[in-house]
Chain A
């Protein structure tokens, strides 16, 4: 019997959660000991660096990255090879490589997982980037809330120095490269590349106008290449296995894989890495194992506070940079939040806007004042006090902020509102015209009512109501005073046998 039982154990890679995944950026996460350079070496670690330094010219490295089709995983999707080329073409006495590990998108933890699971891969990639672009120093900007990641990076850097993969004359090629860690205080705007560099320089993390781009005038005024953690995580494999290996995965213009932090109303939450071009349906139904409680899928948010939602009508969209941009979303850094029929889309839009209002650095007024005004308008809608004219004004202001803000934070802050207005206009209208929240989430619009046909007058509800909003004689119909009701739902729970109370 025991024998039979053992054969019933299904290996992880055959389970739905893993079947459709392809682990490239995360290939060593969950496999090797991240604090051991020896284990990294055992799985081909530093082979790409050795190959490049001893056999490839810097321009060859850039060409391989270009040919691979790798695009930035930090949100924008800019072609990585092209970015490296820009820096390489600018001559200067000093150039820098910067790794963006600020990861400010709420709910996202892809970059943290790479740093904690495979820190040497980032060290190797940054050295490769330094060699390709002519930089001899690099900075990793990590948020201070990631102490495990910081500790493992420190260990990795020390080990790499000891083995000679960092420092002077690496692989006797004459190439020198050194790495430093800088801790960020966790402000969302510090993830924006120019604010990040200002912060590394020791100043207040505020964006600066571009141009000049970092490739011309970046960190300490020198040509700088800045990439996201996950972007770097793909680099050693591309150099080692060749551009074609990477370009064979994904869609026409989005190659390779993308890591998502899957969360919200989904059975399997976690970190998933899928080939570009996987559909949202595959992610939700197969990898994610569907929605808990048999509820219906409504939408998924990508790109966090800078992105937008993909509605159920577009669930078969293959996920890649261009498809997401076309529907008004964006790839973002990899947060993927699933929403079901119980989520109010106006409330979702407000959640993200609340975040940007808090995180706006205040340097420019369209973002600082504009997002605050948008937040007030959304509050009016949620409280049932808005008019159709307010909806028009909200949309107008959203476009104005997008066009006139200095940095990406302000330029993308209105996206969650615009996307929900585009796909769920009916929900906005229900709040404004009918003063009703279709998902029964917005507290001010909620009403608990007693069905006169069903009520038997047992007095249970009146006894549990904390604010004495329910009146009625025993054995007679009870009524809820809407003015007094605080929408706690206690009465509805109390009436579970008779079920005379409903929430509308």
Chain B
């Protein structure tokens, strides 16, 4: 039970830390998958699973993978966004399980974003 502003602020600090830092205090890479009705209908669920599974296989650490709401670009779903600490967010579009696994291997494991799958490649 949160009963006053002080407790809420304390909780906020704690939640913010949980979103951005590992237990050991290292900055986390954040991977979000658009999973509103539109994203799910376009196949976001297998994409989400593929990301989690590949991260596990490669034993990568300091990464959080989470679902989120609608990112807004219907025809580019499923959309995955990756924010590596200190870097600009990268938006991947029209993902499927294979592409997602490849992104985990190249972007998350090797630090090289897969330019071909990004929104700028899809729209230009």
Contact (A30, B70) CB under 8 Å given A15-B123, A39-B15, A41-B12: yes
Q: Does A9 contact B (CB under 8 A)?
A: yes
Smallest beta-carbon distance A305→chain B, Å: 21
Which single member of B11, B70, B115 contacts A9 (CB below 8 Å)? B115
Which of A60-68, A190-198, A235-243, A267-275 contacts the other chain?
A267-275
Most chain A beta-carbon neighbours within 10 Å: one of B70, B73, B88: B70
Chain B 58-75 near chain A by CB (<8 Å), digits 1 or 0? 000000001111111111
Contact (A30, B32) CB under 8 Å given A39-B15, A171-B4, A268-B75: yes
Chain B 1-34 near chain A by CB (<8 Å), digits 1 or 0? 1111100100110011011000000000000101
Smallest beta-carbon distance A504→chain B, Å: 33
Chain B residues, Cβ within 8 Å of A12: 81, 89, 91, 119
Which single member of A30, A164, A269 contacts B68 (CB below 8 Å)? A30
Chain A 6-25 near chain B by CB (<8 Å), digits 1 or 0? 10111110010100000000
Does the CB pair A9–B113 fall under 8 Å? yes
Does the CB pair A113–B91 fall under 8 Å? no
Chain A residues, Cβ within 8 Å of B100: none
Q: Which residue of A lies closest to B93 (CB)?
A: A12
Q: How many residues of A contact B (CB 8 A)?
A: 51
Does the CB pair B68–A117 fall under 8 Å? yes
Q: Does B42 contact A (CB under 8 A)?
A: no
Q: Does B109 contact A (CB under 8 A)?
A: no
Which single member of B36, B38, B73, B121 contacts A17 (CB below 8 Å)? B73
Smallest beta-carbon distance A111→chain B, Å: 11
Q: Does B49 contact A (CB under 8 A)?
A: no
Chain A residues, Cβ within 8 Å of B15: 38-39, 41-42
Q: Does A35 contact B (CB under 8 A)?
A: yes
CA distance A50 to B120 in the complex (A): 41
Interface of chain A residues 135 through 188 with chain B (CB within 8 A)? 146, 148-149, 163-165, 171-172
Q: Does A26 contact B (CB under 8 A)?
A: yes
Q: Does B40 contact A (CB under 8 A)?
A: yes
Q: Which residue of B lies closest to A40 (CB)?
A: B15
Does the CB pair A118–B119 fall under 8 Å? no
Chain A residues, Cβ within 8 Å of B90: 9, 11
Smallest beta-carbon distance B20→chain A, Å: 8
Interface of chain A residues 29 through 48 with chain B (CB within 8 A)? 29-36, 38-39, 41-42, 44, 46-47
Which single member of A10, A38, A39, A270 contacts B73 (CB below 8 Å)? A270
Which single member of A30, A54, A109 contacts B71 (CB below 8 Å)? A30
Does the CB pair B113–A164 fall under 8 Å? no
Chain B residues, Cβ within 8 Å of A95: none
Most chain B beta-carbon neighbours within 10 Å: one of A15, A146, A172: A15
Q: Does A496 contact B (CB under 8 A)?
A: no
Q: List 19 A-B contacts (CB under 8 A).
A: A2-B112, A6-B115, A9-B113, A11-B89, A15-B119, A29-B68, A29-B72, A30-B34, A34-B67, A38-B18, A41-B15, A42-B12, A42-B18, A51-B5, A54-B5, A113-B36, A114-B69, A164-B2, A271-B70
